[in-house]
Structure 1
Amino acid sequence: MTAKKKTLSVGVFLFLICLSFLVLFPFGALVLASLNPAAELMRFGLNLHIEPEKLSLNNYRYLFSEEARLYLQWFKNSVLLTVLSTIVTLFFSSMVGYALAIYRFKGRNFILGLVVFVMMIPVEIMMLPMFKEMISFHLINTYWGVILPFAVSPFAVFFFRQFTLGLPKELLDAARIDGCSEFGIFFRVMAPLMIPAFGAMGILQALNSWNNFLWPLIVLRTNDMLNLPIGLSGLLTPYGNNYNILISGSVLTVLPMLVLFLFFQRFFIAGLTVGGVKG
């Protein structure tokens, strides 16, 4: 390696280190704030200043006490909503994307164009008609009222279609010759080949559902039904009397998605790269 390439590599490495620091600084400051008394946050704000004698896990212990029972309920609600929403969205979106990629039928291009068109429409524009629809279905203040309007994601449909276009079509003919039904072909032959796509889209959908704020805020009404983003936002007051739950609860909110990505990052990278270069 020449001296010029070494210098360039060192420069890129230092740049990435600085960029990583800028990205991790807010989270690091949040973790430190969660280990300090809430009064310290009100006095000094978020910072990386460490005073070992003030650090403790009292805020985290408080989260699991009887006084903070609502936080645990919000956490359970978020987990349930995320799991159900991700499973439902992956199931229906993968089937729609698969059908648009494999089958030739009248109106297929129109449906595909409609999917792309819906992707360009901001979700906020559709909130009012979706809210009226949930009222007519009597799904206000229910988990299904949060999940069903997004059971089929246009982005996920398009992603699965692009991924399916790169799969070998010879397997379809072989399965049909063996007498396999169309649903059997999808679930027994094609779905296992789509695992990288399921992994990539599963992470994206889970992250979107976990951080979902606006639509659950419209649909959910009672404290025991709220998810974490709504519940934690309600703890913000000018007096700082809830910061012990807010800060430590925010740190724990990050952990599930971090663990999910660490476990499924192999599928995430494979799904994005394969789906992006084929079709």
Structure 2
Amino acid sequence: MVHGRQDKLISAGLLAILIGFAFLSLFPVLSLLVASLSPASDLMRYGLAPELFFSSFDLENYRVIFGPEGSRYWTWYLNSIIVSSMLIALSLFFSSMVGYALAMYEFPGKRFIFIMVLLVLMIPFEIMMLPLFQLVITLGLIDTYFGTILPLIVAPVAVFFFRQYSLGLPKEVMEAARVDGCTEYGIFFRIMVPLMLPSFAAMAIFQGLISWNNFLWPLLVLRSNDMLTLPIGLATLLTPYGTNYQLLFAGAMLSIVPIVILFLVFQRYFIAGLMSGSVKG
């Protein structure tokens, strides 16, 4: 009886601690929501001080962003959706094939290629920006969607993840498919891809989050205002001569929506994909 009460108290204490951590994690989002519902005058007066939580709320900021003044915001929003969608599709396609090949086939130089993937994985992206920027200039991809996604199409982290996940796939299925006359591409696309859906879902969320929040590389590549992605576009609202709080906070709040939708779509595969990719191999 005593042990039962102690277990309940421990469980209640752990639950309270977890709720506290969850609140701390969500507090920035809550602050952003409050700021997006607050008049611009209160934002200029209080900033994000506690007094703002007790101010009057209205939807004026959202009326501005859905009005004529917010047209440039939706251009940035569409650019981010296009760039992120292209990156997710191309990265999943190419990275999964590379990771699958490194896991399931034997060929000369396989170990060397995998070591190179690990080495690139350990190099900070900032070190590689200059040669990548020179490559984009040479290819004439400055101020284009493809130039924005080029460095991340075959990301080392994605290749490593798919390689680790593919190590757990049954090779007996491949042999049976070969006996039935299936080609190697047919084995991958018709048999292995359905088995790899959890890894695709997990990596889609990961790559989508990276692309949606990417700031530094698009800042180097993109030039015209009509090509800017959402992070860069929102940054242009911060100037020494004044800040457009109405667009900034409401726009930042709406920018969360695609990532939330992406996670909700793939959430049932997310944990399974991460766990499988991390323990196999």
Q: Give TM class, smaller chain.
A: over 0.9
CA distance in 2, matches of 1:131, 1:148: 10
CA distance in 2, matches of 1:24, 1:116: 34
Question: Which residue of structure 1 aligns with residue 20 of structure 2?
Answer: 18
Question: Which residue of structure 2 aligns with residue 109 of structure 1?
Answer: 111
User: TM-score, normalization: structure 1?
Assistant: 0.96
- Find the residue that maps to 2:15 and give its secondary structure: helix
CA distance in 2, matches of 1:208, 1:268: 16
Query: Does 1:218 find its partner at 2:220?
Result: yes
Q: What is the CA deviation profile of residues 192-241 of structure 1, one whole-angstrom value per residue up to 9, with x for unaligned ones?
A: 10000000000000000000000000000010000000000110135544
Q: What is the CA deviation profile of residues 125-170 of structure 1, one whole-angstrom value per residue up to 9, with x for unaligned ones?
A: 0000011111110000000101122210101001001101001111
Question: Which residue of structure 2 aligns with residue 252 of structure 1?
Answer: 254
Equivalent residue letter for 1:111: I
Equivalent residue letter for 1:112: F
Q: Would you say the 8 A contact 1:97–1:157 is kept in 2?
A: yes
Equivalent residue letter for 1:245: L
Unaligned 5+ residue runs, structure 2? none
Question: Which residue of structure 2 aligns with residue 177 of structure 1?
Answer: 179
CA distance in 1, matches of 2:262, 2:166: 24
Unaligned 5+ residue runs, structure 1? none
The runs of 4+ residues in structure 1 deviating greater than 3 Å are: 47-52, 238-241
Q: Would you say the 8 A contact 1:196–1:271 is kept in 2?
A: yes
Equivalent residue letter for 2:70: A
- Find the residue that maps to 1:2 and give its secondary structure: helix
Query: Does 1:264 find its partner at 2:266?
Result: yes
User: TM-score, normalization: structure 2?
Assistant: 0.95
Q: Would you say the 8 A contact 1:29–1:47 is kept in 2?
A: no
Question: RMSD across aligned C-alpha pairs, in angstroms?
Answer: 1.3
Question: Which residue of structure 2 aligns with residue 30 of structure 1?
Answer: 32
- Find the residue that maps to 2:255 and give its secondary structure: helix
Equivalent residue letter for 1:72: W
Post-superposition shift, 1:278?
2.2
- Of the structure 1 ranges 81-90 and 34-43, higher mean CA displacement relative to structure 2 is found in 34-43
Q: What is the CA deviation profile of residues 165-189 of structure 1, one whole-angstrom value per residue up to 9, with x for unaligned ones?
A: 0011111001101111111111001
CA distance in 2, matches of 1:275, 1:36: 43
- Find the residue that maps to 2:154 and give its secondary structure: coil
- After superposition, where does 1:78-227 map in structure 2 within 5 Å? 78-227=80-229
- Of the structure 1 ranges 229-238 and 69-78, higher mean CA displacement relative to structure 2 is found in 229-238
- The match for 2:79 among 77, 80, 93 is 77
Q: Would you say the 8 A contact 1:38–1:240 is kept in 2?
A: no
CA distance in 2, matches of 1:50, 1:111: 54
CA distance in 2, matches of 1:175, 1:31: 53
- Find the residue that maps to 2:256 and give its secondary structure: helix
- The alignment covers a number of residue pairs equal to 278
Equivalent residue letter for 1:270: A
Question: Which residue of structure 1 aligns with residue 235 of structure 2?
Answer: 233
Equivalent residue letter for 1:168: P
